Structure 1
Amino acid sequence: MTFTPTADKLIPDLKPKEELVLLARTLWREGYNDHLAGHITISLGDGTLLCNPWLLTWDEIRPCDIIRIDLEGNLIEGDWPVPLGIPLHLELHRARDDVRVAMHNHPLYGTVWGDMREIPPAMDQSSSLGGGQLVLVDEYAGSVNSSEAAAKTVAALGDADLALLAGHGVFVLGSTVRAVHQRAVALEQRCRNAWYVRAAGGVLDSPLPAWFSEQFRRSDGDGFRGFWEATVRAELRADPTLLDAPEP
Structure 2
Amino acid sequence: MAFEPTPGKLIPDLTPAQEIVLLARTLWREGYDDHLAGHITYNLGDGTLLCNPWLLTWKEIRPRDIIRIDLEGNVVEGDWPAPLGIPLHLELHKVRPDVRVAMHNHPRFGTVWADMGEVPPAYDQSSALGGGDLTLVDEYDEAVNNSAAARTVVAAMGDADLALLAGHGVFVLGVSTRAVHQRAVALEIRCRNAWMVRAADGRRTSPLPTHWLERSRGSDGNGFVGFWESSVRAELRLAPDLLADPGEAD
TM-score, reference length from structure 2: 0.97
Aligned to 2:172: 172
Matches within 5 A, 1:1-248: 1-203=1-203, 205-247=205-247
1:128-172 deviations in whole A, cap 9, x for unaligned?
000000000001121231000000000000000000000100000
Alpha-carbon contact 1:18-1:243 (below 8 Å) kept? yes
1:193-229 deviations in whole A, cap 9, x for unaligned?
0000000112563342211111001110011000000
Q: Percent identity?
A: 74
SS at match of 1:150: helix
Alpha-carbon contact 1:172-1:180 (below 8 Å) kept? yes
Alpha-carbon contact 1:121-1:205 (below 8 Å) kept? no
The 1:151/1:203 distance shift into structure 2, 3 A limit, reads farther
Give the Cα–Cα distance (whole angstroms) in 1 for the partners of residues 114 and 204 of structure 2: 16
TM-score, reference length from structure 1: 0.98
Alpha-carbon contact 1:121-1:204 (below 8 Å) kept? no
* Bigger shift: residues 59-68 or 200-209: 200-209
State the one-letter code of the partner of 2:23.
L
> What are the ranges of 5 or more consecutive residues in structure 1 without an aligned counterpart?
none
State the one-letter code of the partner of 2:168.
H
SS at match of 1:104: strand
Shift of 1:187: 0.2
* Bigger shift: residues 203-212 or 35-44: 203-212
State the one-letter code of the partner of 2:73.
G
Alpha-carbon contact 1:85-1:145 (below 8 Å) kept? yes
State the one-letter code of the partner of 2:53.
P
Cα RMSD between the aligned structures?
Answer: 1.0
> What are the ranges of 5 or more consecutive residues in structure 2 without an aligned counterpart?
none
Give the Cα–Cα distance (whole angstroms) in 2 for the partners of residues 75 and 206 of structure 1: 48
* Bigger shift: residues 137-146 or 50-59: 137-146
